Structure 1
Amino acid sequence: MRITIQEAAQMCGGTLLCGNPKDFITNVRTDSRQVVPGSLFVPLKGEKTDAHLFIPATFKAGAAAALTQEPVEQPASGALIAVPDTTAALQQIAAAYRRKFTIPVIGITGSVGKTTTKEMVALALSARFHIMKTQGNQNSQIGVPLTMFQIDETTDAAVVEMGMSQFGEMARLAEIAAPEFAVLTNIGVSHIENLHTRENILREKLHIVDGFIPQSVLVLNGDDPMLAALRGQLPFHTVFVGTHDWCDYRASHIQIQDGKTFFIMEHHGSQQPVLLPALGTHQVINALSALAIAEILHVDLQNAAAALGHYQPLAMHQQIHQVGGLTVIDDSYNASPDAVRGALDVLCSFPHRRIAVLADMLELGKVSQQEHYHCGQYAAEAGTDLLVTVGREAAAMAEGAKQTLPSIPCQVCRSNEEAIHFLCQTLQRGDTILVKGSRGMHTDEIVSALLAMDF
């Protein structure tokens, strides 16, 4: 990026307190430790830390400018821009910067599968375009603005992951990223503690289309009942992907082959074989969304499908490790009921003994006990051989599993340490172990312990 300090001030309606308005900003940082020469430092006020304290240090590190919503000492060199709210100013600058480019922007949202779908869409589009994509899961009110600043003159298209957990957040992200195309993966119960009902979640997610133009397209998962019900109900062009006959992009002949998933994509009478290095029907739906976006943007489908053959899961997103005679499925990044069911399907596609280590799913509010119970029932129905739960809420999974299949062995643990101790005594060569839980449960600690075991 390359904008002047004066442009940045104008973009956010700020007042330049000092500094040369003609100097250039070449990057934006909210972490003072990452400031480099040319940075615009945006100090955010958190519950525990006010980053305004670090403004002097950022100028010593070469920052070109800093925003401030508080009185601070003027630097010997560099610019200060006064704003009412630094977070809002960051978002305003990002929105204005994004509009300097006329490239297609594809927004990705949904209760489950955003990050994987983002990766697959970017991969499919890379068969023709130079792509800028969200790094990691920078999908928040801060992450999306920072992502916008990664667009430059070499970018042909941008794939932007957009998450939300509160009312009004998606509308703000849509104003910032202004996606002209979007994918809505599904509607689950993630963040229902804040949003109260799935209907509210759907309404909030649909704000991703707020900036749609006549040429815009929304890609929807036709296998999700709430999204399927939108067929013919929306005032803009929609495309449905899924396994039903009526879907615009349909997957058929789904088969597991040597740790990969093969399927045939059917669209308007044509067929495209796809071999995806990922497991599970949910991954097939993600791949269909990627192929749909690719064709909408005139990428050759054969080339897009070939690009998907190079997909690699991100860390803690269903990574499969072979170690010491064990197969470890590391899906520890996060968890929701739909994601847990999908992960259990993957686990139960493996031979030999299948062990599910499932920790609390957070932010489920009043439905928490019920959703954990149902996931336990699903674990038993899917063919799990041993269920290990971690945390107070997850104990209901053991209850659900036992109700469905009284013979299923269950171990209820209060902590990761207790689960690790149990697994050390229980695991045998040949076992397949799925590890999954909400980010706040830190189940990656269990994965690390498993990978260090010596059989």
Structure 2
Amino acid sequence: MKPIAVNDIRKLLEGKIITGPVNWKVEDAIYYTRHDHTKRNSLLFANRGDAINWVAIDKKGHSLVITDKSSINVKDVLPNTTVMQVASVVQSYWKFINYYRNQFQIPVVTITGTCGKTTTKDMIKHMLSVTWNVHASESSKNEPRRSFPYLMGIDEHTEAAVFEHGLGNSGNIKHQCMIYQPTIGIITNIGAHHLDGCVNLEGYIKAKEEIIGGIKDGGTLILNADDQNSKKLRIHGFTGKIIYFGTDAKSDYRASRITYGKGGMDFVLHADRKEYKVFVQGYGEHQVSNALAALAAVHEMGMDLKDAISRLNTYKNMERHLEFSNGKNGCTIIDDTWTNNPTSVEAALKVLDKVGKGKKIILILGDIKRLGNFEKKYHREIGSMVAARNIHALITIGEKAEEIARQAMRDGSTANIRMFKDVSDIGNRLDHLFDNQSIVLIKGPMSSRGMIEFARSLKQ
């Protein structure tokens, strides 16, 4: 965070100092009930109804508590703590956010989508970091409550920022955009996910659409020209620049001649009426899509495409993202336990179609969560996808995933099908399936530590 004098914050928020020193600078800011207070010289927004632990706050050193409590017993406040009273904490919070964000005239990219958010974010950071100081959200920790601390991570040395949006319910992305105020917004793709919080697919699309209204005036929207649900987005009111990526002919960043290379994808990029040969680590056409979105973003930010492509060539694919490893009895393990939704399952199956030719395919699939009333529908659709392929064995883990197995059976799958209630029930019961002709895809929910550990146990 860029340090700000306590007196400057008092003037900005039109607050009243109740007690405590003022000749110091704030170097971090949190919302008292939402974030951990771990740093000294922190600003804490505290609601009038919050029970404040003055002793714990004082132990951190200088702290500024901004509150709209009508009465404060100054005897409870210890020497390191400054208390500022304001009319409304909520209004002060948003006023402070707007002030702080507009201290920085830098590119801020935010990314949403059903799949590819974290990968695209990391590609952008990787390409820019060769010459720029880039601040980014951590891993896939993208919950809305993290947005304020992430914004505070921007300081006077930051030259660009890249964040991904978490979505559990409608309104989440709008809230995050009010904090980040992005100059570039990316929607990687839209499949079925979080339908419990968004009611149905239409509601989920509208929730993703919130990024469009959250981009700063004159900003840029980057969309997937190949994605059918992205075509349903209402973009007519967007007055900024729109860039498309994909294999579709209308794409501004178009990929052609896509092939599987050694450890990743080779393709030709068509942009600015020129052609460029590109390699990106990680298998699948979805990885090409992620690369296109990232290249579009960094080029829009001013990076030369040749330099960006050269830098992308050194990008390392994330762990547990279709990660290939040697496994038990000489088999090949594909660990895809980072996330689990219908879109990512379909993408993984398409990769298997290419790399699994002539091999014995074994699928280990876990529950897909957050599908609301559409749980059975989408699990059954995956079962039909499996049945349409030459699969040696289908193993499902969890009650929801049983519907995948049942639908595969109904559709006439010839696979050896087994269902387990829990990953702990498996033990070594599958070991006889694994040999040097086997490719084993294991895919389960991010929240399942058991699935993640099981995947690790299969690797040599």
Question: TM-score, with normalisation over the residues of structure 2?
Answer: 0.87
Match 1:330 to one of 324, 327, 335 = 335
Compared CA separation, residues 252 and 32, structure 1 to 2 (3 A): closer
Q: Given that residues 186 and 221 in structure 1 are in contact (C-alpha distance below 8 angstroms), is that contact kept between their aligned partners in structure 2?
A: yes
Compared CA separation, residues 397 and 63, structure 1 to 2 (3 A): farther
Match 1:345 to one of 347, 350, 357 = 350
Residue in structure 1 matched with residue 19 of structure 2 by the alignment: 18
Q: Given that residues 57 and 81 in structure 2 are in contact (C-alpha distance below 8 angstroms), is that contact kept between their aligned partners in structure 1?
A: no
Q: Given that residues 15 and 86 in structure 2 are in contact (C-alpha distance below 8 angstroms), is that contact kept between their aligned partners in structure 1?
A: yes
Residue in structure 2 matched with residue 418 of structure 1 by the alignment: 425
Compared CA separation, residues 230 and 3, structure 1 to 2 (3 A): same
Compared CA separation, residues 14 and 164, structure 1 to 2 (3 A): farther
Partner Cα distance (2:395, 2:294) in 1: 35
Q: Given that residues 263 and 275 in structure 1 are in contact (C-alpha distance below 8 angstroms), is that contact kept between their aligned partners in structure 2?
A: yes
State the SS of the aligned residue for 1:422.
coil
1:73-88 correspondence runs (5 A): 73-81=76-84
Partner Cα distance (1:452, 1:66) in 2: 48
State the SS of the aligned residue for 1:235.
coil
**1:387 has 2:391 as partner:** no
1:390 Cα offset (Å): 1.3
Compared CA separation, residues 53 and 224, structure 1 to 2 (3 A): same
Residues 65-74 or 146-155, more deviating: 65-74
**1:164 has 2:167 as partner:** yes
1:368 Cα offset (Å): 0.7
State the SS of the aligned residue for 1:366.
helix
Compared CA separation, residues 258 and 90, structure 1 to 2 (3 A): farther
Partner Cα distance (1:253, 1:365) in 2: 39
Partner Cα distance (1:85, 1:327) in 2: 59
Equivalent pairs counted in the alignment come to 449
Indicate the percent of aligned positions where both proteins have the same amino acid: 25
Q: Given that residues 283 and 351 in structure 2 are in contact (C-alpha distance below 8 angstroms), is that contact kept between their aligned partners in structure 1?
A: yes
Kindly provide the CA deviation profile for residues 219-268 of structure 1, in whole angstroms up to 9, marking residues without a partner as x.
10111112235598453321111111222211111111122111111124
Compared CA separation, residues 273 and 234, structure 1 to 2 (3 A): farther
Q: Given that residues 391 and 414 in structure 2 are in contact (C-alpha distance below 8 angstroms), is that contact kept between their aligned partners in structure 1?
A: no
Kindly provide the CA deviation profile for residues 369-394 of structure 1, in whole angstroms up to 9, marking residues without a partner as x.
01011112223335443221111111
Partner Cα distance (1:147, 1:38) in 2: 17
Match 2:150 to one of 147, 151, 175 = 147
Q: Given that residues 423 and 454 in structure 2 are in contact (C-alpha distance below 8 angstroms), is that contact kept between their aligned partners in structure 1?
A: no
Partner Cα distance (2:253, 2:428) in 1: 47
Residues 286-295 or 89-98, more deviating: 89-98
Compared CA separation, residues 282 and 82, structure 1 to 2 (3 A): farther
Residues 289-298 or 7-16, more deviating: 7-16
Residues 444-453 or 234-243, more deviating: 444-453
Kindly provide the CA deviation profile for residues 261-317 of structure 1, in whole angstroms up to 9, marking residues without a partner as x.
111111243111111111111111110011111221221111111111222233433
Kindly provide the CA deviation profile for residues 85-123 of structure 1, in whole angstroms up to 9, marking residues without a partner as x.
978866654443222111011111112221111112222
State the SS of the aligned residue for 2:344.
helix
Q: Given that residues 372 and 396 in structure 1 are in contact (C-alpha distance below 8 angstroms), is that contact kept between their aligned partners in structure 2?
A: yes
RMSD value over aligned CA atoms? 3.1
Partner Cα distance (1:67, 1:222) in 2: 46
Structure 1: stretches of 5+ with no match in the other structure: none
Compared CA separation, residues 127 and 434, structure 1 to 2 (3 A): same
Residue in structure 1 matched with residue 277 of structure 2 by the alignment: 273
Residue in structure 2 matched with residue 432 of structure 1 by the alignment: 439
1:192 Cα offset (Å): 1.3
Structure 2: stretches of 5+ with no match in the other structure: none
1:53-452 correspondence runs (5 A): 56-62=55-61, 64-66=63-65, 73-81=76-84, 93-213=96-216, 215-229=218-232, 233-236=236-239, 237-324=241-328, 325-351=330-356, 352-424=359-431, 426-440=433-447, 442=448, 444-452=449-457
State the SS of the aligned residue for 1:165.
coil
Residues 275-284 or 199-208, more deviating: 199-208
Partner Cα distance (2:392, 2:137) in 1: 38
Amino acid at match of 2:213: D
Partner Cα distance (1:82, 1:377) in 2: 61
Partner Cα distance (2:237, 2:190) in 1: 16
Compared CA separation, residues 286 and 256, structure 1 to 2 (3 A): same
Partner Cα distance (1:363, 1:210) in 2: 25
1:8 Cα offset (Å): 4.9
Compared CA separation, residues 97 and 423, structure 1 to 2 (3 A): farther
Partner Cα distance (1:189, 1:308) in 2: 29
State the SS of the aligned residue for 1:341.
helix
Partner Cα distance (2:336, 2:54) in 1: 38
Partner Cα distance (2:9, 2:388) in 1: 56
1:322 Cα offset (Å): 3.0
